[in-house]
Each structure stands twice: as C-alpha cells, then as structure tokens.
Structure 1
Amino acid sequence: MASTALPPGWFDISPPVSPTSAVFPGDTAYHSEALLSFATGANLALTTLHTTPHVGAHADAPCHYDERGVGIDQRCLTRYLGTAQVVTVTIAAGDRVQVADLPVAVAAPRVLIRTGSFADPDCWHNEFCSLSVALIESFADLGVVLVGIDTPSVDPAPAKILTAHHAIYRRDMAILEGLDLRGVADGLYTLIALPLRLVDADASPVRALLVPVQPELETSALVAARVDK
C-alpha cells in the first residue's frame, strides 16, 4: 500500500470529501453508490458518485456567477499553478476581509486567505468570513490572478448579490474555495490546484497542494499564459 505521507515542506490543503462534507444548504451532498463490489462476488469494484462540484476544495467557474461566464473546462490552467502566498487575517466571524486586515504586503500572484472561520469542513454554519470588493480590486491592481479562501465562499452565506464573485469576474481572476490551511505557516509556496476538465461545469473539485517554491514552474506558467492569450 502506498504511503499518504508527503515530503517535508509539502502540504495537502484539500479537506477529505465524504458524505459528511458540508455543502451549501439545498446543494447535493457527496454520495457514493456501489454498482459492483467484491463483497457481492464481482471481479472488480465500481462506483457512481453523486455530488455538487462545490464540495471540499474547489475552483469556481465564471459561469457559476455570471451568465456570460465560461465553464471550468475553459479556464486557463496556469492560474492554478505557481507561486502563492498564504496570509492569515484576524477578523470577526461573518465579516468580509478588508485591505487593512492584511498583516503583510502582497508578494505573489496567487493569494490564499486563512480566516479560521470554518474550522470543521463537516459542520455547516453561516458565520464564515468572506472577501470585500475593495480587497479584490486591490489584489487585481497588484497583478493577483487567483484568490483562495478557507471558507465555502468568497461571499457571505446569506448573500443574494454575489459582489465578491462579480468583482473577481470583472477583473478576470480565478477562485479557490474550501481550502484547509490549518497547519500551514504564512509565506510563499508553489500552489498546485488544477480543476478537472468538466465541460460547461460551474465548478470542479481540486486536490490542492502547497510545495516549496519552484521558480521554474512560475516561469513556465507565465510563458504558457502569454501563449494562451
């Protein structure tokens, strides 16, 4: 059996996905249905999965929050691969992160915000923190291409108008939600969090990793992004 241990300095920032994983009320919780199993005499195991794509660590697609937006299969993968900065903020439960809440200057094109406001990924509550439009605009002005957060959404749970999502759409940034940043020190890493190529899907689960900074990956990603444009 292969070991699940990671090399020193590597961090798996994806919470486990299971039937107990919390999803937005009314969304489809993860469920695995056995079609074939060794226990019933089959020669292999085969399952069908039922789930919202907004489960665990996941990447939102623009079509999730704008009718003109593309599906996750059309997103440029370089946004989800490269240098990222983990930043911890300390704010009241349910508040939006403001520019003044950042304890350090932005130093990477991908910023992952740890709020600590959704500590148990299996226990849903509405009082998690989210992002302000001013923060997103500030990030975009600094050249940030992806913003991630350790909560289910960059907008508050009760929000009917998704102002943070819409600001991210206007500035052509990528979103990661549901990250597990516990045990990760603030600082710079290389992020690997590629979404699946789910045609026209409004999101995709990701297996998000933080590894020691790999400058060559950032350079390759920037070159690929220029070619993609």
Structure 2
Amino acid sequence: MSGWIDISQFLDEGVPVWPGDTPFSYRLTWTKEESGSVNVGQVAMSTHTGTHIDAPFHFDEEGKRVGELDLAVYAGPAKVLDREGIGWIGPETLAGEEITGVERILIRTGAWKDRSRFPKAIPPVDPALAPWLKQRGIRLLGLDLPSVDPLDSKDLPAHHALARHGVHILEGVVLDEVQAGTYELVAFPLPLKQADGSPVRAALRPL
C-alpha cells in the first residue's frame, strides 16, 4: 500500500468499545494441527467497533441499512481539516475553509487522546452543521471520535440531522499523524446487508 496512510484503529482485544457493548474477540475455531491444513478464525464484535460507518438504521427504524448505502460515498477525494482543541463542531468550526467541490470532510479534533480507553467526553457536532454541509455538497463527515453526538445522548440530534440532509457518518478515524490537506479516501463498509453499521479499513493517499 505504498503511498497510503492507514487511518483505521486496529482490532484486537484491546480496542475500546462503547460501555456495555460487545467486546472484540478473535479466536481460532480450527487450528492447522486440528484441521490438517489450515487455521480458521472466528470474530465477535459490535458493528460500531473501532473505525466504522453508521447506517441510518442505527438510529432510525425506517433508515437505510448497510447493504442499501451508496458505496461511492465512501471513496474519492476528501479534505482533512485540523481543528484540535475545539469544544464543538459547527458551521463556525469550518468558517473560511475552502471546500468548493469537496464531497468528503475528515476533522481532526485530537480529543481522543488515549485510544486504549473509551473517552469520557468528546466535542459533539452541532445539528446546525448538517444543512450547512448539504448546501456545500458534502456527502460524508468523518471524525476522530466514536460519535457525532454527546456520549450520553439518547435522542442523537446530530445523527438525525446529518441523515436528513444526506450526510453520511464515518467515526473513529485515526488522524493523529495526518496533515491537513486533500487526499483520496477509501473506507468501504463490509457487505453486511441488514446491518446498522460496519467496521471499515480506512486509508488516505495524498493528492
């Protein structure tokens, strides 16, 4: 993958998950010794582990599931913005940024300092950002955070606002070493037809 920058969280028993959600596990169900030819593994995990996308069905019973999403949203030119230290993510956060012709934005907040632990608080997305993004043709918002809403939110206003305005959600990207700029993004979900979300292998290549 020469030239590509991996922005995914590695999945192992140490990856943090939402409190109370399914912990990640990988084990061999057959060893080469047992089968005589191959090792075969089994994975158990939440669909929202590590770097992942949310399908609208995650927060809306009538929303699209992963198998219904447009793959084109998850690959193509993307702009990485450095906004470390911000307290929230709203239109003011992106004011003055040249995003003409950009369909995908990834925001580095730097708020998730210790990726071995689930964060206690994050800078949430202001629902007012959703129409602002739509007006500018943005189809994907990616964050270095586990959610676009406050971690204790039950009504998930940012999730719903983004979905209403056709903005897809990519969460948990690792942008610690990524410079602001324009890149090619690939972050395809798995073909989990009925799922509410999916882990992705997300990567960037400078343009």
Aligned partner (choices 187, 192, 196) of residue 198 of structure 1 = 192
Instruction: Tell me by how many angstroms 1:14 deviates.
Output: 0.5
8 Å CA contact retained: 2:88, 2:123: yes
Instruction: Tell me by how many angstroms 1:33 deviates.
Output: 2.4
2:137 is aligned with 1:122: no
The CA RMSD measured in Å over matched residues stands at 1.6
8 Å CA contact retained: 2:134, 2:165: yes
Mapped to 1, the partners of 2:105 and 2:38 lie a distance apart of: 42
Aligned partner (choices 167, 174, 183) of residue 168 of structure 2 = 174
2:96 is aligned with 1:106: no
2:56 is aligned with 1:37: no
TM-score (norm 2): 0.93
- 1:163 aligns with 157
- Closer, same or farther in 2 for the Cα pair 1:42/1:122, shift >3 Å? farther
Q: CA offsets, 1:180-221, max 9 Å, x none? A: 0111110111111111110110001111111133xxxxxxxx
For residue 203 of structure 1, what is the amino acid of its counterpart? G
8 Å CA contact retained: 1:130, 1:151: no
Mapped to 2, the partners of 1:91 and 1:143 lie a distance apart of: 26
Aligned residue pairs total 205
User: Which deviates more, 171-180 or 102-111?
Assistant: 102-111
Mapped to 2, the partners of 1:125 and 1:81 lie a distance apart of: 28
Mapped to 2, the partners of 1:173 and 1:101 lie a distance apart of: 17
Q: What residue ranges of structure 1 are gaps of 5+ in the alignment?
A: 1-5, 214-229
Q: What residue ranges of structure 2 are gaps of 5+ in the alignment?
A: none
TM-score (norm 1): 0.84
Q: Which structure: greater helix fraction? A: 1
For residue 91 of structure 2, what is the amino acid of its counterpart? V
Q: Percent identity?
A: 35
For residue 201 of structure 2, what is the amino acid of its counterpart? R
8 Å CA contact retained: 2:85, 2:111: no
Aligned partner (choices 148, 166, 183) of residue 154 of structure 1 = 148
